[in-house]
Amino acid sequence: MSPVETQPVAPVWNEIHLRLAVKAAGIALWSWNVDTDRLTMDDIGYRLWGLETEDEVSFEDLSERIHPADRDRVRTAFTATRGIVGPYEIDFRIMISDDIHWVSARGRGDDEGIVGRVMFGVFLDVTGRKRAEEAHELLAGEMSHRVKNLIAIAGALASMTSKSTASTEDMARELTQRLAALGRAHDLVRPRAGEPQTSALLGDLLSVLLTPYDATGAFQGRVRVAVPRLTIGETAATNLALVLHELATNSVKYGALSSDTGLLDVSSQLQDEVVEIVWIERGGPPVCRPSPTRGFGSGLLDRILKHQFSGAAEYDWDVEGLTVTLRIPRDRLSV
């Protein structure tokens, strides 16, 4: 006799299997009585909304937990779902105490699947995805801003180099050297995959970042750096490079480094475990206090100082030149 060939048996999905799958996926089930406005949810739904399971809940009750900026939009969208043909999806924020979470409500409109005046759907906690999207948007904004700044710096360096060189060959050589210095600054602070935590000296970071701006005017030595020997960690070096990049960019656009005879002095001192970095510009165009509306660059600078360093910046808009004092706790420079 030949062996009996057996065919694989398809699994039989029962209610228990479906509930286990729904629970594993973190899906909250809900039903909505369109006449009484009463909502019924499973345990996952109650936890998602920060409610007790014995509470009777209406759509109006849930609305009070929706972020004020999203509330009207969600109310309108839910009311309109009965007129939508096919599936719908609504993403919105909810407030649980002081925490903000993102919820995605999904179902089918046009009364499809309605049973005895009750509609059914699911809630999904999409907080992780939304935060990742926000982080990507911020990163894209920062990268776009940095690219624009680099283009502006390259253009300004090209313009200033053309004024201080006698031939196109000299201009090409000097401009290439300055752009290469910007590249070295990037390499100094760029994290490298698979390598241990690294550190750099504050003086090295300042010198490498500011070297491209020296000798771009009528004489060399227009950028002077005098700081004590301080070691900074990889993360701190990256963040400080962004801060110095913003200051240098603004100086090239509007300050001392926009003038052939402008001077920049950068010094530092340690006082009561706080590192003070003083940025002094002189010899440039007359300084005017900027408008209260802050641009992306200024906002980025202040955000890095506050959130990454627990520090602050103080600005002195003297007509003869800008002075910026950065105050950063020493221990925040070591990470």
> Do the beta carbons of residue 39 and residue 28 sit within 8 Å?
no
- Would you give the DSSP letter of residue 259? S
Confidence of residue 276 (pLDDT cuts 50, 70, 90): very high
Number of helical H runs and strand E runs in the chain = 9, 13
**Residue 65: CA count within 13 A, CB half-sphere:** 20
Higher pLDDT, 126 or 335: 126
The topology (CATH level 3) of 130-333 is Heat Shock Protein 90 (3.30.565)
Mean pLDDT of 215-244: 78
Pairing assessment for the beta strands 312-318 and 321-329 based on DSSP bridges:
antiparallel
pLDDT at 168 over 70: yes
pTM of the complete model beyond 0.85: no
| CATH 3.30.450.20 boundaries in the chain | 17-125
Nearest 5°: CA angle at 28, between 23 and 29? 105
Handedness of CA 77, 79, 83, 88 (dihedral sign): positive
Per the prediction, the chain carries an average pLDDT of: 79
Most trustworthy range by pLDDT among 115-119, 183-187, 247-251, 278-282: 278-282
Percent of the chain with pLDDT over 70: 77
DSSP states of 125-181: E-HHHHHHHHHHHHHHHHHHHHHHHHHHHHHHHHHHHHHH-SSHHHHHHHHHHHHHH
**Quick one: pLDDT at residue 67?**
92
CATH code 3.30.565.10 region(s) in the chain:
130-333
Q: Which of 44-48, 136-140, 203-207, 248-252 has the lowest average pLDDT?
A: 136-140
pLDDT in tens, 120-143: 888 998 988 888 888 788 777 766
Q: pLDDT band for position 316 (50/70/90)?
A: very high
- Reported as a single tens digit per residue, the pLDDT across 57-77 is 888 888 889 999 999 898 888
Q: Is the pLDDT of residue 279 over 70?
A: yes
Residue 280 has pLDDT above 50, yes or no: yes
Burial code (b: 16+ CB inside 10 Å, e: under 16) for 195-210 equals eeeeebbbbbbbbbbb
How far is Cα 86 from Cα 218, in angstroms, rounded to an integer?
71
Query: pLDDT-based confidence at 188, cuts 50/70/90?
Result: low
- Taking residues 141-149, report their average pLDDT: 70
Residue 81: predicted pLDDT: 72
The per-residue pLDDT for 193 is 46
Q: What pLDDT sits at residue 186?
A: 61
CATH superfamily entry for domain 17-125: PAS domain (3.30.450.20)
Q: Is the pLDDT of residue 271 over 60?
A: yes
> Does 26 have pLDDT greater than 70?
yes
For residue 146, pLDDT beyond 80? no
Query: For residue range 77-113, what is the model confidence (pLDDT) as tens digits?
Result: 877 776 666 788 889 999 988 888 999 988 776 666 6
Indicate if the pLDDT at residue 156 is higher than 80: no
Least-confidence region, from 157-161, 192-196, 231-235: 192-196
